[in-house]
Amino acid sequence: MKTYACGTLVPGCSWTARAETEADLVARAAAHLREAHGETEIRPDMIERIKERITEADDAA
C-alpha cells in the first residue's frame, strides 16, 4: 500500500490518499489537484513531484 499527502506539496492541504500502485495514486492526486486546487493542466514535472512524495503506507495503520 502506498500513500500520498497533498500537504507535502500544497502547504495547508490535509488531503491524503492511499492506493495499491504508484500509478493509481498519481492519478488520484492529479484529480485532486484539478478539483481542489484549480490545476487545469497536470504537467510532467508535477507528476514527478507527486512521485517523489509517495511513501510506503503501514498496512496496519
Least spacing, CB of residue 5 vs Zn ion, in Å: 9
Least spacing, CB of residue 24 vs Zn ion, in Å: 17
Please say which residue, 7 or 24, places its beta carbon nearer to Zn ion: 7
Q: Which 2-61 residues touch Zn ion, going by CB under 5 A?
A: 6, 10, 13, 15, 36
8 Å CB contact between 29 and 8? no
Binding positions for Zn ion, rule: CB under 5 A: 6, 10, 13, 15, 36
